[in-house]
């Protein structure tokens, strides 16, 4: 089916409850429906048309039309379409039908717009606070437009503590995190353990919500956001940088020149190379195979060096601006990059040959962290986790961007459904990345690397962009706005969805497998807000608040 046929199908089912439809460029379309039939339309799209859930977005539009906007984004991967299903919500007492009982994957996204914008998802299956800190006063919504970006709300209660759910009968609670040797970033899992078996868990995260979307909507300007977006993630920063730029370009129809599209593709693939090599190293490290960990990092290092030569930094490439890129790949760099990936391919082939038959590693990873096709659909899992479950989704092929429609590559799929499958998928994707970079270097066209932008960006346009990060699809949604900055900028990183699948993946598994199962999604959290110290002499535990810390370590 194409966009028109889907809209026709929905119109036949729902008649004039479908208020408005827009078919836009790059195979994206927008549907605005009455709020009372939102759930039914979602059901048809998600179940009958078999779409993949991407994310839910809340937008404060009260200063323009007196209400809020709620959007549920879906992807039709086999038809190569992206769809945003929207509904307008009343401004005074905003509430919307929850779709969590049909689309379980929308669990976090709905809680997020409830916390940040105060739009109540009626009938949510697990309506617990998700994003805001425990002491944050009720009824204050930081992402609303009337809330200044640097405001501290009245009535912040330092002493209000988080209420955990009750553990199931017969289970012992084992806390995992927020500080744990295998977690680089803070996240807390409260595991319910029966003997050695994990029977369930409760997740508590968002300990380092940085409010980067608010910053983008109220302080930064269009061409400053790419640099801020890059700081969302320390490993796949360039993905966010490109995804944001593409979302704005998609919204207003700016065409980046072909050369810049090739450069974007090359840098994204370089990033995937170093991320996958890092992950394989870490997976080996967690399963106690440190030799290979060292060698993965040895093989990875030249990738960082060549990225530094091209962009000026090993990791933060600061690559994109709206309508192009900042760094050119000269003939000299082109030659050098060919040599680097040539050497990388030989040394990686040796590693893969050694590892794919390693029965010790297989025994450690087979049957651990099972995510099957059903879980992938229900929790909308992405990237290598989905591909290791035999679901061939890859934004590079399904929703082509940059120069991916001009290169040939295979989507690596495995049927193991476990950590071993994810290891295999990632190891072979390295070869696909090398293939893509080679083709790009050969096909790269001469010309400009930045489109000339002569007019200001028009107001009120929608833009979507999906970019395949090493961990899965990264989705950016932009509504353009006044004052040279977007009105709404929503980021959905791949871990946001993959993490929601972890409780099912570790259920009925050994406690010792928890670390490996969690690491297998390549999780990406962030920094911390509290610090606990123990007085060695008295053994007294004291928890410092952020304010006390500020006075302790006065940084000004």
Residues in contact with other proteins by the rule CB under 8 A: 148-149, 218-225, 227-228, 231, 291-292, 295, 298, 301, 305, 308-313, 316, 318, 321-323, 326-327, 347, 350-351, 353-355, 357-360, 452-457, 483-484, 556
Q: For other proteins, give the closer residue by CB, 149 or 179.
A: 149
Q: How many CB atoms lie within 10 A of CB 551?
A: 8
State the maximum Cα–Cα separation within the chain, in Å, rounded to a whole number: 74
Q: For other proteins, give the closer residue by CB, 179 or 305.
A: 305
Q: For other proteins, give the closer residue by CB, 44 or 453.
A: 453
Give the nearest distance from C-beta 254 to other proteins in angstroms: 10
Give the nearest distance from C-beta 327 to other proteins in angstroms: 7
Give the nearest distance from C-beta 322 to other proteins in angstroms: 6
* In contact, 23 and 3? CB cutoff 8 Å: yes
* Cis before 178 (ω within 30): yes
Rounded to whole angstroms, how far apart are CA atoms 220 and 214? 9
Rounded to whole angstroms, how far apart are CA atoms 106 and 98? 9
Give the nearest distance from C-beta 452 to other proteins in angstroms: 7
Phi-psi region of 281 (alpha: psi -120 to 50; beta: other; left: phi over 0): alpha
Give the nearest distance from C-beta 219 to other proteins in angstroms: 7
CA distances from 264 to 239, 243, 311, 330, 467 (A): 9, 10, 12, 14, 11
**24: phi then psi, degrees, rounded to nearest 5:** -115, 180
Rounded to whole angstroms, how far apart are CA atoms 428 and 344? 13
| Helices 419-443 and 331-355, packing angle to 10 deg | 160
Give the nearest distance from C-beta 426 to other proteins in angstroms: 18
* In contact, 140 and 57? CB cutoff 8 Å: no
Give the nearest distance from C-beta 221 to other proteins in angstroms: 7
Pairing of strands 197-204, 188-194: antiparallel
The string of DSSP codes covering 276-332 is HHHHHHHHHHHTT-HHHHHHHHHHHHHHHHHHHHHHSSSS----EETTEES----HH
Q: Reduced to 3 states, what is the DSSP secondary structure of residue 251?
A: helix
Rounded to whole angstroms, how far apart are CA atoms 217 and 215? 5
- Residue 361's Cβ-count burial label (10 Å; 0-12, 13-18, 19+) is buried
Give the nearest distance from C-beta 316 to other proteins in angstroms: 7
Pairing of strands 320-321, 120-122: unpaired
List the Cα angle 112/217/107 in 5-degree steps: 10
* In contact, 228 and 257? CB cutoff 8 Å: no
Give the nearest distance from C-beta 318 to other proteins in angstroms: 4
Q: For other proteins, give the closer residue by CB, 383 or 481.
A: 481
Q: For other proteins, give the closer residue by CB, 205 or 323.
A: 323
Q: For other proteins, give the closer residue by CB, 23 or 453.
A: 453
Give the nearest distance from C-beta 537 to other proteins in angstroms: 29
| Helices 331-355 and 290-311, packing angle to 10 deg | 170
Spatial strand order in the sheet of 67-76: 18-24, 28-33, 81-90, 67-76, 52-61
Give the nearest distance from C-beta 461 to other proteins in angstroms: 15
Give the nearest distance from C-beta 223 to other proteins in angstroms: 5
Q: For other proteins, give the closer residue by CB, 171 or 453.
A: 453
Nearest Cα to Cα of residue 382 among 499, 303, 482: 499
Q: For other proteins, give the closer residue by CB, 116 or 248.
A: 248
Q: For other proteins, give the closer residue by CB, 37 or 228.
A: 228
**527: phi then psi, degrees, rounded to nearest 5:** -75, 180
Q: For other proteins, give the closer residue by CB, 484 or 533.
A: 484
Q: For other proteins, give the closer residue by CB, 327 or 404.
A: 327
Return the beta strands (E) in 149-264 as ranges: 172-176, 188-194, 197-204
Q: For other proteins, give the closer residue by CB, 65 or 360.
A: 360
């Amino acid at each position: 089916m194409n966009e028109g046929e889907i809209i026709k199908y929905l119109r036949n089912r729902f008649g004039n409850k479908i208020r408005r439809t827009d078919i836009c460029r790059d195979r994206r379309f927008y549907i605005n429906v009455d709020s009372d039939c939102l759930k039914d339309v979602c059901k048809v799209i998600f179940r009958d048309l078999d779409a993949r859930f991407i994310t839910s977005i809340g937008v404060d539009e009260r200063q323009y039309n007196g209400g809020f906007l709620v959007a549920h984004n879906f992807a039709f991967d086999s038809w190569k379409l992206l769809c945003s299903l929207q509904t307008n919500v009343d401004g005074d007492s905003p509430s919307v039908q929850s779709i969590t009982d049909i689309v379980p994957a929308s669990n976090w996204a709905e809680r997020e717009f409830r916390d940040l914008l105060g739009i109540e998802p009626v009938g949510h299956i697990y309506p617990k606070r998700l994003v805001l800190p425990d002491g944050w006063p009720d009824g204050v919504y930081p992402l609303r437009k009337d809330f200044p970006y640097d405001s501290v709300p009245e009535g912040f209660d330092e002493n209000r503590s988080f209420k955990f759910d009750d553990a199931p009968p017969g289970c012992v609670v084992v806390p995992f995190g927020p500080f744990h040797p295998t977690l680089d970033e803070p996240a807390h899992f409260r595991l319910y353990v029966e003997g050695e078996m994990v029977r369930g868990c409760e997740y508590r995260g968002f300990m380092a919500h940085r409010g980067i979307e608010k910053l983008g909507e109220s302080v930064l300007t269009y061409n400053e956001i790419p640099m801020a977006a890059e700081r969302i993630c320390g490993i796949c920063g360039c993905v966010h940088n490109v995804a944001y730029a593409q979302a704005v370009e998609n919204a207003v129809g700016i065409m980046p020149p072909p050369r810049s599209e090739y450069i974007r593709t090359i840098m994204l693939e370089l990033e995937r190379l170093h991320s996958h090599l890092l992950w394989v190293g870490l997976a080996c490290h967690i399963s106690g195979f440190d030799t290979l960990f060292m060698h993965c990092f040895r093989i990875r290092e030249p990738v960082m060096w060549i990225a530094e030569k091209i962009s000026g930094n090993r990791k933060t490439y600061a690559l994109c601006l709206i309508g192009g890129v900042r760094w050119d790949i000269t003939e000299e760099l082109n030659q050098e990059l060919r040599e680097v990936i040539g050497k990388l391919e030989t040394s990686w082939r040796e590693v893969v040959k050694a590892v794919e038959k390693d029965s010790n590693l297989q025994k450690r990873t087979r049957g651990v962290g099972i995510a099957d096709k059903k879980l992938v659909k229900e929790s909308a899992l992405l990237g290598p986790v989905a591909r290791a479950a035999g679901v061939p989704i890859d934004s590079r092929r399904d929703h082509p961007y940059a120069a991916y429609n001009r290169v040939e590559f295979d989507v690596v799929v495995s049927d193991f459904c476990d950590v071993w499958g994810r290891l295999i998928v990632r190891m072979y994707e390295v070869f696909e990345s090398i293939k893509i970079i080679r083709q790009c270097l050969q096909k790269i066209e001469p010309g400009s690397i930045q489109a000339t932008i002569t007019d200001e960006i028009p107001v009120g346009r929608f833009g979507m962009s999906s970019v395949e990060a090493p961990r899965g699809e990264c989705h950016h949604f932009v509504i353009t706005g006044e004052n040279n900055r977007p009105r709404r900028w929503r980021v959905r990183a791949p871990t946001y969805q993959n993490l929601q699948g972890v409780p099912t993946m570790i259920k009925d598994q050994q406690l010792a497998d928890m670390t490996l199962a969690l690491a297998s999604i390549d999780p990406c959290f962030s920094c911390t807000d509290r610090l606990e110290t123990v007085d060695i002499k008295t053994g007294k535990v004291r928890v410092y608040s952020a304010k006390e810390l500020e006075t302790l370590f006065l940084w000004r």
